[in-house]
Amino acid sequence: RLQQAEQSEREGESERGRQSGRLRRLSTKYRTEKIYPTNVGEKEENVKKNRYKDILPFDHSRVKLKLKTTNQDTDYINANFIKGMDGPEAYIATQGPLPNTVIDFWRMNWEYNVACRLWEDGCYLCYRLHMEPPQSWGM
**3-state SS assignment for residue 119:** strand
Cβ contacts of 93 within 8 Å, gap of 6 or more: 79, 80, 82
Domain assignment present for residue 22? The answer is no
Burial of 80 (0-12, 13-18, 19+ CB in 10 A): buried
Span 2-48, pLDDT tens digits: 666 566 566 656 777 888 888 888 878 887 888 889 999 999 999 99
Mean pLDDT of 102-131: 71
Domain assignment present for residue 135? The answer is no
* Mean predicted lDDT score pLDDT of the chain: 81
What is the value of pTM for the model shown? 0.69
Domains identified in the chain, total number: 1
**Dist CA 49 CA 42 (whole Å):** 10
User: 139 pLDDT band (50/70/90 cuts)?
Assistant: very low
Domain assignment present for residue 81? The answer is yes
Domain assignment present for residue 54? The answer is yes
